[in-house]
Amino acid sequence: MSILKDLSIKWKEEKLILPIWYEDGRVNIIDQIKLPFVEEVYSLDSVSQLARAIKDMTIRGSGAIGIAGAYGILLAAVEFKGDIKSIKEAGILLKSTRPTAVNLMKTVDEMVQYVDSYKGDDIIEYIERMAADVIVRQLNYEKQLGKFGAELIEDGDTILTHCHSGALAGAGFGGRALSVIRTAHESGKKIHVFTSETRPYLQGARITAYELMKWGIPHTLITDGMSGYLMRLNKIQKIVVGSDRIAANGDLLNKIGTYMHALAAKENKVPFYTATSSHTIDYNLSNGMDAKVEFRNEDEVTSLNGQRIALEGTRALYPSFDVTPNELIAGIITEKGVMTKPYGESLLKVK
pLDDT tens, residue by residue, 25-50: 899 999 999 999 999 999 999 999 99
Q: 123 with 178, same domain?
A: no
Largest CA distance in the chain: 64
Whether the Cβ atoms of residue 261 and residue 241 lie closer than 8 Å to each other: yes
Active-site position among 157, 244, 251, 282:
244
CA distances from 291 to 2, 205, 246, 286 (A): 39, 28, 10, 9
Do 335 and 206 fall into the same domain? yes
Of 88, 121, 142, the residue that ends a domain is 142
Residues 215 and 137 in one domain: no
Do 123 and 255 sit in the same domain of this protein? no
Q: What CATH number is given to the structural domain containing 342?
A: 3.40.50.10470
For 76-96, the pLDDT digits (tens) are 999 998 888 999 999 999 999
Q: Are residues 81 and 193 in the same domain?
A: no
| pLDDT band of 72, cuts 50, 70, 90 | very high
Domain with 117 in it: 3-142
Q: Answer yes or no: do 187 and 305 share one domain.
A: yes
Q: Are strands 281-282 and 245-247 parallel, antiparallel or unpaired?
A: parallel
Domain count, the chain: 2
Per-residue model confidence (pLDDT) at position 4: 80
Residues 248, 173, single domain; the answer is yes
Tell me, what CATH number does 26's domain have?
1.20.120.420
Q: Per residue in 94-107, pLDDT tens?
A: 999 987 778 898 89
Of 89, 124, 142, the last residue of a domain is 142
Kindly state whether residues 242 and 120 are assigned to the same domain: no
95 and 168 inside one domain: no
Catalytic residue check, 244: yes
Residue 23 has pLDDT above 90, yes or no: no
Same-domain pairing of 198 and 304: yes
Predicted TM-score of the model (pTM): 0.92
Co-location of 135 and 95 in the same domain: yes
Q: Are residues 246 and 172 in the same domain?
A: yes
Residue where one domain finishes, among candidates 97, 125, 142: 142
